[in-house]
Structure formats: C-alpha cells, structure tokens
C-alpha cells in the first residue's frame, strides 16, 4: 500500500481552487453552484467551496440509484439523500468527485442532475484522474493524474485529514 502524504492533499486542493477560478473566469461564470458526489467527492467539494468562498450552499449527490451496475452489486449500505439547495435550471455547476477512473460515476451523477433540471453547464473537477476510462468523460480540473495498473486502486481517506492511498486489489 502506497500512501500519498496527507500534507500533499491540501496543496492539491489549493492548486485545484486556483485552476477552478481561472476556468470560471475564462467562461465568464461569476456565481457557480458546487455539487459534491458522496462520499469522497463531498469532502473535496467542501474544501474547494471554502477556498473559493462560494455564496451558494454546497449541494450533494448520492448516485446509488443511478449506477449502471445497481442490479449487479445491489444497494449501497450507506445510501444518503441527495441535497441540492438551489435550482439547477440554467445554473453553471461545478461537479466534484474524489477519483475519476471509468467515468461511470460521473455519468450517473449527470443523469441525476438532469432529473433536477437543465443546467447551463457542468464543469468537472476531480482530486485524482487515473487511468482506466471506459466512457468519454474528462475533467476540466484535476489535482493529480495517476497512471495505475488495472489491479491498483486509489482511495481518499477522511474526512478530517484527507489522505490518498494507492492499494492493490484484494
């Protein structure tokens, strides 16, 4: 198990916040709404939300019912309600997750967001973009790019002191 130092994660979050500010400014977006995907994506979104000083409350998504493998793997034992304390219609959203690998979690999150309305745009920010994409989904902001073997996984541990770990599959 390879541990990516806990001190490294705050630096990644600082870099991500700067990159998000540049992206938003370049697109002329002044009042974005941020949405984190449970669980690690919410931790990352909370940190970015603070760093960016966003006025709109943070939204959260639990995509358990939107997963394309729901019938195969069954119900997630930790299902939480999604909470979007703002209107999605015509809003510029920043969708945040901890790790982007296959793209399926992001696809599920976008499906759920569109059930709430039609956003003007969605900007994707992830703490870690790793190899293994199965769908054509790409982040506009990524804190770290990792090229891992198929049998390796990266996991965000938290929520107090965020730490990334690279693990071998069991």
Domains, in order of start, for the chain:
2-67+85-168 (3.40.50.2020)
pLDDT for residue 65: 81
Question: Which parts of the chain sit beneath pLDDT 70?
Answer: 1-3, 5-7, 67-78, 170
pLDDT for residue 4: 72
Q: Is the pTM of this model over 0.85?
A: yes
pLDDT for residue 107: 97
Q: Among residues 32, 30, 18, which one has the least CA distance to residue 122?
A: 32
Give the whole-angstrom CA distance, residue 84 versus residue 61: 8
Give the whole-angstrom CA distance, residue 148 versus residue 150: 6
Question: ∠ CA 18-47-41 to the nearest 5 degrees?
Answer: 105
Cβ-contact 121, 24 below 8 angstroms:
no
Q: Is 20 helix (H, G, I), strand (E, B) or coil?
A: helix
Cβ-contact 147, 64 below 8 angstroms:
no
């Amino acid at each position: 198990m390879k541990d990516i130092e806990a001190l490294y994660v705050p630096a990644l979050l600082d870099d991500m916040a700067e990159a998000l500010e540049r992206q938003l400014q370049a697109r002329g977006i002044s009042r974005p709404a941020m949405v984190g995907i449970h669980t690690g994506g919410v931790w990352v979104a909370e940190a970015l939300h603070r760093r960016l000083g966003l006025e709109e409350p943070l939204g959260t998504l639990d995509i358990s019912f939107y997963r394309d493998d729901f019938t195969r793997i069954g119900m997630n034992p930790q299902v939480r309600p999604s909470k979007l304390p703002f209107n999605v219609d015509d809003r510029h959203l920043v969708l945040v997750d901890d790790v982007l690998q296959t793209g399926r979690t992001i696809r599920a999150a976008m499906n759920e967001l569109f059930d709430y309305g039609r956003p003007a745009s969605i900007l994707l920010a992830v703490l870690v973009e790793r190899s293994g994409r199965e769908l054509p989904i790409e982040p506009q902001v990524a804190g770290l790019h990792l090229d891992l073997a198929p049998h390796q996984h990266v996991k965000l541990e938290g929520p107090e002191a965020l730490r990334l770990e690279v693990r071998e599959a069991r």
